[in-house]
Amino acid sequence: MDPAPPVYAALDTLGIPYERHEHPAVFHAEDASKYWNPIPGVQCKNLFLRNKKGDRHYLVVLEISKRADLREIVKLVGDDRLSFGSPERLMAELGLTPGSVSPFGLLNDADGSVRVLIDRDLKGADRLIFHPNINTASVVVSWADLERFLASRANPVRVIALPGSPDE
């Protein structure tokens, strides 16, 4: 089943305008970038993380070329050691497969347990590019509309200052 239509339906229900772009399957930010470069907007990557005990999960959203230092994120959120969640855990928590992670996966998090951490450098962007829960398409929304989408979910959301600049 194609996971993108529920994303488009949720955006339509919320009155959020978006652009859709189809492309071949991509599995890493670098792969996506070659299809995203012609699209005006901030290219975003999304990391699915878990704490050491595996009882807390995080979705970290940042600009595609920015490096995410997991030790720094631990300091910012006050949790214990963070690591990447397994494909099985990603499927269980967000109903997603590797390469298709995006904030829209929160549609599949019924209890709102995944904590969302968004890099403040994305704040106010006119155009943000994400996958619509599948790695063969991309969707463009504004920061304000991403905030509206996130507000419609039960997940806790924090804007954090990830160190570094996108070109470091």
77: left (phi over 0), alpha (psi -120 to 50) or beta: alpha
Q: Is the whole-model pTM more than 0.85?
A: yes
Pairing of strands 42-51, 82-84: antiparallel
What span, in angstroms and rounded, lies between the C-alpha atoms of 41 and 72? 26
> Any alpha helices (H) in the chain, and if so which ranges?
4-13, 29-36, 70-77, 87-94, 143-151
pLDDT above 90: residue 9: yes
| Token digits of residue 37 | 């470069």
- Least confident range of 25-29, 50-54, 74-78: 25-29
For residue 92, pLDDT over 60 is answered with yes
Counting residues of the chain whose pLDDT is more than 70, the rounded percentage is 97
What does the pLDDT read at residue 168? 41
Q: CA 31, CA 28: separation in Å to the nearest integer?
A: 5
Stretch 44-53: mean pLDDT: 96
